[in-house]
């Protein structure tokens, strides 16, 4: 069986590697993640899909964390996929739509959208984690759940296949990914 480093362009760190202890630190330092098997830092979406496929073949679980704001105990033996390098944000002010990569934080979206009068949430929380949990921001009384504004999600399914998920393409998965009630 190949190693993760054989199937991705990004970085793979294991116990004993110089940067391993730093790479696994979550924002919430109260949580100990030192028992993870490896930290995988993808360069792009293809790396994410390859990581999920490879972990599946090896019988390993993958946990995704852009920032570790919501870190919880219990990751021993798992593969920690850190998406914090995937930071691209593009804004279409006419359509009032932003395309945000998996590791971007709201601060980056706020910077890109403020000049158009568009808004987001706490600057240090990642957009993906916030929206996957429904997302309540300072603007929720007026605009509702952040997840209500999601148009599409580019996801990798559990068998490692990239998928663009919308309300039309897969209503059940679209609902589940937004972490909220209908």
Ligand X SMILES: Cc1cc2nc3c(=O)[nH]c(=O)nc-3n(C[C@H](O)[C@H](O)[C@H](O)COP(=O)(O)OP(=O)(O)OC[C@H]3O[C@@H](n4cnc5c(N)ncnc54)[C@H](O)[C@@H]3O)c2cc1C
Residue 65 interacts with ligand X (CB under 6 A): yes or no: yes
Residues 67-106 touching ligand X, rule: CB under 6 A, are 67-71, 83, 102
Max intra-chain CA distance, the chain: 52
Residue 10 interacts with ligand X (CB under 6 A): yes or no: no
Closest CA to 33 of 45, 20, 24: 24
Query: Of 51 and 64, which has the nearer Cβ to ligand X?
Result: 64
Closest CA to 13 of 104, 79, 63: 79
* Interface pick for ligand X out of 4, 75, 137, 174 (rule CB under 6 A): 137
Residue 136 interacts with ligand X (CB under 6 A): yes or no: yes
The site that binds ligand X (CB under 6 A) totals a number of residues, namely: 24
- Interface stretch with ligand X, choices 50-58, 60-68, 112-120, 168-176 (CB under 6 A): 60-68
* Residue whose Cβ sits closest to ligand X: 129
Shortest distance (Å) from residue 159 CB to ligand X: 15
- Integer CA distances (angstroms), 113 to 91, 94, 97, in order: 7, 12, 10
* Interface pick for ligand X out of 56, 107, 133, 149 (rule CB under 6 A): 133
CA dihedral of residues 32, 127, 176, 12 (deg, nearest 10):
-50
Shortest distance (Å) from residue 48 CB to ligand X: 8
- b/e map 70-109, b = 16+ CB within 10 Å: bbeeebeebbbbbbbbbeebebeeeeeebebbbbbbbbbb
* Interface pick for ligand X out of 24, 41, 80, 125 (rule CB under 6 A): 125
Which helix (DSSP H) or strand (DSSP E) does residue 80 occupy? Answer: strand 79-82
What is the contact surface with ligand X in residues (CB under 6 A)?
A: 63-71, 83, 102, 121-122, 124-126, 128-130, 132-133, 135-137
């Amino acid at each position: 069986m190949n190693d993760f480093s054989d199937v991705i362009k990004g970085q793979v760190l294991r116990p004993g590697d110089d940067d391993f202890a730093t790479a696994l630190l979550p924002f919430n330092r109260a949580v100990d993640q030192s028992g993870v098997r490896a930290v995988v830092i993808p360069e792009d979406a293809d790396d994410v899909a390859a990581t999920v496929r490879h972990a599946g073949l090896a019988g390993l679980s993958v946990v995704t964390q852009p920032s570790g704001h919501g870190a919880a105990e219990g990751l021993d033996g798992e593969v920690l996929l850190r998406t914090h390098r995937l930071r691209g944000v593009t804004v279409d002010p006419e359509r009032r739509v932003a395309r945000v990569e998996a590791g971007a934080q709201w601060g980056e979206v706020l910077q890109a959208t403020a000049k158009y009068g568009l808004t987001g949430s706490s600057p240090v929380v990642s957009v993906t984690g916030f929206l996957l949990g429904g997302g309540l921001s300072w603007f929720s009384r007026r605009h509702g759940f952040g997840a209500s504004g999601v148009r599409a999600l580019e996801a990798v399914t559990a068998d490692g296949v990239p998928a663009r998920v919308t309300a039309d393409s897969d209503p059940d998965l679209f609902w589940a990914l937004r972490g909220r009630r209908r």
